[in-house]
Amino acid sequence: MPKRARGALSLLLGLTLVVSACGTTSENAGGGPAEPKPCGGAGGKYTIGVSQANVAEPYRERMDADIRKAAAGVPQFTVNFADAQQDNSKQVEQVENFLTQQIDLLIISPNEATPLTSVVKKAYEQGVPVLVLDRKVNGDSFTSFIGADNFDIGRRAGEFVAESLLPGGGKVAELKGLAGSSPAKERSDGFKLGIGGKNIEIVASADGDWLRDKGRQQADALLKGTPGIQVVYAHNDPMGEGAYLAAQDAGLTGIKVVGIDGLPIEAGGIKAVEAGRLAATFVYPTGGKEAVEAARKILVDCQQVPKVQGLPIERVTKENAAEVYARLNAGG
């Protein structure tokens, strides 16, 4: 593992402080709950609020489905979902509504970090355990972050491009996620490290906001405005699929596209790799099942959970796509 990546991992692990059940400690520098709530245990009933950034993204739709499926196995849980539709103000309002309803635990995937930080901190400081999924908030006023390492997944995408697609160097266009979301910055920074020193240049970039249609529009403009692009690196698979269609429309059949997410569904990135529309994708687990497991430990088992819960990532190419798809769908 490169030195810089090791440093990032060390920093991540360094944050792995342990907090008490129901968020009852004040170990976080950002402030803890004012009045610790007693743990109700197995005999209680609990309402969980799930605040989703934007269900229009297939990845987030799958995340909600994973939460719903896992929660069905915990009879003490009732789960209510809210969709912010990529609107920061709406997501703040929805979390405020959850707090008014006196939920027992909040699961949130923030649309953008900075606009959602205050309301997440408010929930945490009111004694509501907060599980942050995939996208981060600023500071550490939350119970646990659950997600894969977005910097590392970007680095691995860059290394794949350098080793397999452009071994002699070349030109890349980058389709970025929503500018204020933490994965967009980390996937971009990691990719730059992965292609570092390999004579590869990012000659054009644009924000696709994680959306397939916008990604297609932006890719169309990049490909037509910047001659010589050989590879498109998209921060998620839907934008990558949009870039593939834009290249086809422009008659640029030789362009390779790399995405991230690797959803194991018919419309997901793994099948796109099998079909040849994407040269590769990288599995980024939704964390839905892990979030429900953490909620169960906190509310039902009265146990501690780690401050940071990392999830595994995996590269998918045509050689292993069918095997990965079958494995990730094993067991229903």
Instruction: Kindly list the domain boundaries of the chain, sorted by start residue.
Output: 46-147+287-301, 150-284+315-331
Contact 232, 175 (CB under 8 A): yes
Residue 30: left if φ>0, alpha if ψ -120 to 50, beta else—which one?
A: alpha
The Cα angle at residue 40 between residues 39 and 42, in degrees rounded to 5? 120
Given this model, what pLDDT does residue 13 score?
A: 37
Q: H or E stretch including 320?
A: none
Structure-token pair, residue 310: 């990392």
Residue pointed to by tokens 């002699």: 168
- In this chain, the answer to whether the domains covering 46-147+287-301 and 150-284+315-331 adopt an identical fold is yes
Given this model, what pLDDT does residue 24 score?
A: 33
Contact 242, 57 (CB under 8 A): no
CA distance 78 to 276: 41
The phi and psi torsions of 212 (rounded to 5 degrees) equal -60, -50
Q: What is the pLDDT of residues 66-80, one digit of tens each?
A: 999 999 999 999 999
Q: Which residues of the chain have pLDDT under 70?
A: 1-36, 331-332
Please give the distance of CA 163 from its chain centroid, rounded to a whole number: 25
CATH architecture, domain defined by 150-284+315-331 = 3-Layer(aba) Sandwich (3.40)
Nearest to 210 by CA among 245, 255, 246, 180: 180
Given this model, what pLDDT does residue 332 score?
A: 55
Fill in the DSSP letter of residue 55.
T
Structure-token pair, residue 103: 């939920």
Bridge partners, 295 (sequence order): none
Contact 109, 62 (CB under 8 A): no
Please give the distance of CA 133 from its chain centroid, rounded to a whole number: 7
Given this model, what pLDDT does residue 180 score?
A: 85
Fill in the DSSP letter of residue 280.
B
The CA distances from residue 139 to 15, 113, 132, 143, 235, in Å, are 11, 10, 12, 12, 24
Contact 80, 50 (CB under 8 A): yes
For residue 227, how many other CB atoms are within 10 A of its CB?
A: 8
The domain made up of 46-147+287-301 is a member of CATH 3.40.109.10: no
